[in-house]
């Protein structure tokens, strides 16, 4: 196992830059998830750590070694691909022990390691089968088995669950988490699925447009998003964003929403009088009531029952708003609803830069 240090790494294809000055320190044994929309550079960064892409400038260290110029085979890392990338002409057993054979591992030890990995992943009965006879989930397991037999310095996962159906994805997610708990190997996991990111990560690295937007624990990113992108990307249903202006009224700081309504600003929020801002509030923080117990009035436009709770879409004078409630409410469309936006739950971003206002 080893730490991974990424320092000032840039990547360009010709004149097109795809990664801008990425700095990231991953501790030994940590599970870090790179998350972001397609094309944000997360997979490129992972492939650079793996040695499958060259580094335009900067340095990547695995353990104490700078690996910039090292071939993938010499980096002692294992990778699970989105497409599984199993060797179709080899049996499951041979797929799993290929790396060991390349390292001239004694046959006895190889057999022991492979059977241990197979039983850990529930693959005992498939060892002599070819990958084409396996289901998607089983193939994914073989791909993981192939990685764990190596006991590498680090695991790299490139959207490993994207090709699985929702139920299987959930199951494999739990297995990956357990596996990491048992093995404790440093892992970098790339996904565009923020649920995977939230559930798996020790730390999340949110990326957009080749730039790291925020690094932090899942709850850090959820509760204190550093900019509009992170606020919008993390969380489902997505955060509500409302245009507003900061107002200083003597000692009191207020937020004037575009509807003209005024609400108290969160305590300690910075910014100046008249500054245009965007106010974010998570749907579960919007308090709604059909009994007119609220600050503002709106009406129900749509109700989405989710089983776990209900998403209520509200129409108000100037903005649409989503509220998530745990109760099973079934308001008819058009019902008048009172709602409240608690000051302590508001996220205030500069309207121009999209950055969170300093506190």
Q: With CA atoms as reference, report the closest residue to 150 among 228, 76, 57, 40.
A: 76
Using the rule CB under 8 A, give the single segment among 76-84, 212-220, 293-301, 337-345 that binds another protein. 76-84
Q: Total number of residues binding another protein (CB under 8 A)?
A: 32
Which of 36, 41, 131, 137: binder of another protein (CB under 8 A)?
131
DSSP conformation letters of 255-293: EEETTS-EEEPPTT----TT-EEEEEE-GGG-EEETTS-
The tokens 């998350």 sit on which residue? Answer: 35
Structure tokens at 4: 């991974």
Which of 57, 83, 151, 355: binder of another protein (CB under 8 A)?
83
How far CA 147 is from CA of 80, 133, 160, in Å, comes to 7, 20, 12
12 binds another protein, rule: CB under 8 A: no
* Secondary structure tally for the chain: helices H, strands E: 8, 20
In the complex with another protein, the residue whose CB is nearer, 98 or 296, is 98
Using the rule CB under 8 A, give the single segment among 79-87, 206-214, 291-299, 351-359 that binds another protein. 79-87
Beta bridge mates, 207:
212
Which of 27, 57, 133, 289: binder of another protein (CB under 8 A)?
133
Which of 39, 103, 151, 359: binder of another protein (CB under 8 A)?
103
Which of 27, 39, 73, 236: binder of another protein (CB under 8 A)?
73
Rounded to whole angstroms, how far apart are CA atoms 343 and 267?
8
Which of 81, 115, 168, 209: binder of another protein (CB under 8 A)?
81
Structure tokens at 46: 């992972």
What is the β-pairing status of strands 186-191 and 31-35? Answer: parallel
The tokens 């830059």 sit on which residue? Answer: 17
77 binds another protein, rule: CB under 8 A: yes
Which of 134, 144, 198, 300: binder of another protein (CB under 8 A)?
134
109 binds another protein, rule: CB under 8 A: no
88 binds another protein, rule: CB under 8 A: yes
In the complex with another protein, the residue whose CB is nearer, 85 or 111, is 85
Structure tokens at 153: 């310095």
163 binds another protein, rule: CB under 8 A: yes
Beta bridge mates, 155:
78, 187
Rounded to whole angstroms, how far apart are CA atoms 53 and 49?
8
In the complex with another protein, the residue whose CB is nearer, 62 or 244, is 62
How far CA 188 is from CA of 12, 170, 251, 277, 353, in Å, comes to 22, 19, 47, 35, 30
107 binds another protein, rule: CB under 8 A: no
Residues engaged in binding another protein (CB under 8 A)? 50-52, 71-73, 75, 77-79, 81, 83-89, 98-99, 102-103, 130-134, 136, 139, 146, 150, 163
């Amino acid at each position: 196992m080893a730490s991974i240090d990424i320092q000032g790494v840039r990547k360009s294809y010709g004149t097109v830059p795809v990664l801008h000055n990425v700095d990231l320190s991953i501790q030994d044994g940590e599970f870090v998830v790179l998350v972001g929309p397609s094309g944000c550079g997360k997979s490129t960064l992972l492939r650079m750590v793996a040695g499958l892409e060259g580094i335009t400038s900067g340095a990547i260290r695995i353990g104490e070694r700078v690996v910039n110029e090292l071939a993938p085979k010499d980096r002692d890392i294992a990778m699970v691909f989105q497409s599984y990338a199993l060797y179709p002409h080899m049996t499951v057993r041979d797929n799993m022990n290929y790396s060991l054979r390349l390292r001239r591992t004694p046959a006895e030890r190889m057999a022991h390691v492979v059977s241990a990995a197979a039983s850990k992943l529930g693959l005992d009965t498939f060892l002599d089968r070819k990958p084409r006879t396996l289901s998607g989930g089983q193939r994914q397991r073989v791909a993981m088995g192939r990685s764990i037999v190596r006991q590498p310095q680090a695991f790299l996962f490139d959207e490993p669950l994207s090709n699985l159906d929702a139920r299987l994805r959930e199951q494999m997610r739990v297995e990956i988490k357990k596996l990491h708990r048992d093995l404790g190997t440093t892992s970098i996991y790339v996904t565009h699925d923020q649920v995977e990111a939230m559930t798996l990560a020790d730390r999340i690295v949110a990326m957009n447009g080749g730039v790291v937007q925020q690094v932090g624990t899942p709850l850090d990113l959820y509760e204190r998003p550093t900019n509009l992108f992170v606020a919008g990307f993390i969380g489902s249903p997505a955060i509500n964003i409302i245009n507003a202006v900061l107002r200083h009224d003597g000692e009191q700081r207020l937020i004037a929403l575009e509807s003209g309504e005024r609400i108290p600003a969160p305590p300690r929020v910075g910014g100046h009088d008249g500054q245009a801002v965007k106010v974010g509030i998570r749907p579960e923080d919007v308090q709604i009531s059909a009994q007119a117990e609220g600050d503002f009035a709106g009406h129900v436009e749509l109700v989405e029952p989710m089983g776990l709770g209900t998403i209520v879409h509200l129409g108000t004078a100037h903005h649409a708003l989503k509220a998530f409630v745990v109760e099973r409410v079934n308001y008819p469309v058009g019902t008048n609803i009172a709602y409240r936006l608690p000051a302590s739950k508001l996220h205030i971003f500069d309207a121009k830069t999209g950055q969170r206002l300093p506190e």
